[in-house]
Structure 1
């Protein structure tokens, strides 16, 4: 059985020239078509398409048609790529995970092929088809990922740097870059709260330096409330050198006499400090505190409206607010005492402090040789 033959433009022009010669001899169109072995419909289609052309002209016309079709296809691909780039996220797709997600998005929304989507996003097709290690049963970091999730759940306001030092402390052999990468892949980013900027004028008054433990204690008050709307007053006392929280009170109201009793209780264990730094609140700048200090403790009051001059206790209060008070709803004073006391114990013995080389305050105080 013979197959259908496809004629080139040169062959078509030659057959049309032969048909003109036969027609000039008096042959009719039907005989000419039988002689050329084509149908009359094909003959008339050739006549409309190639009539009056020479073989070179027909070849050139065919090349132009082919080039025109190629240009149309390239234009269509360019427009499709432009639409695809508008569809995916703005900016550079730097990681294979983001490129993989962009490829799936384009294939779903624009109904394009995987090859086209990979070309637009710059993703290698082999990388696209290979599952990430985190999505395979043989993930080598599965145990570490589970540990990071548990760690972030227990300490929602702690970041990857502290997680790295705690992981090393628990025996994980890993560097900080891997902890940061896994932390981001697990979506464990700690939301950053916007801080207010304080404007003030510094004075030339010399600041007392805490160059040894028990040299300077800092004290300050905080306020919260229980669910019934009643206030909760919190006082904290911090050693500025070791960053330890030495003690504190959680009451509805705290007077100067109650604060003096707490200072005496701490002093029975640690001795009295050389300086007690605080603001000039009514509980601190009063006759009771002046009589308690006497000649053994120097009361250093910061200038009014300049809380940054008592920066250690202000930083500690910020940690209390961010990691404890903002995460807990107190329904009673007893619950507030238990939660805040437990947090301060964790602060001293578990929470690693960046200013102490990521040691705990209690661990640093035990090894401190500054006397």
Structure 2
């Protein structure tokens, strides 16, 4: 029967090497020393090469460093594993318990992680993960309420969960609005919203390059509010060549008829442009605008969702927003009209424009020889 091989600790090896040095000092050779220590000569030389000159304290310190190194390796491996697990879950934030539970199942199935590790990474407690959901139980406690909601939605298909909640309370159901909303959503009883189809204006002419005054005018709307919160609608009309603001309207609301009346007033002084560039707002694609343009001038509508196609007036809107609307508090509509009119006059006559050689639009329009 063979005896089990005994493994020496570093402290034992250092002590035996110290004994070996004493034996060699007494005149014994290596073979006799190895027999005395109970090891082979190869083992003796390996010990001497590895632990020669060390003390027992050094061996103890070396052992502690090895343990610390092993612990750091495990921590690094755990960190790399957590990083890989988080990459697996990088499809979106795990906000709801259902998504966290699905993340736990995914990590356990895909990466072979333990339940404890997976729940820790997803931020879900183990008790919550192991708890059976109400929907998984055979007896659904909300089955009666679900049936009532389905019958209610069938009888009133255009009514939403808010009315259903108040009617359920009136009939004696002890529920709050959050539970009714959750069951309403789970049963797929959401009332579809009929969205209004956006109309797109049909252009009567392509906009030529604005190489001369009165070639292309651009019109656009923007909104602000007074101190009482009432809306203020602002219409601006810009000559794309001279950058002049030819006119504008400041009112609570602006219809297509209001805009065409104002355009007639500007055309009486400036003449009609070749093309009027605008977006697909309801005032601009109205029949009143089409009747006003007629055969006298062309209408060019930019594609929907492409404000950069109307860049001149959009740049003007950003200037009036930054230099006037954002720094002024209007206490009435009359006050807004006065401030905005004064700013447009300053824009045309005083404010220098970099694209015009740092001249004002009115100054450039006077020397324009096109």
Taking structure 2 as the reference length, the TM-score comes to 0.45
Taking structure 1 as the reference length, the TM-score comes to 0.45
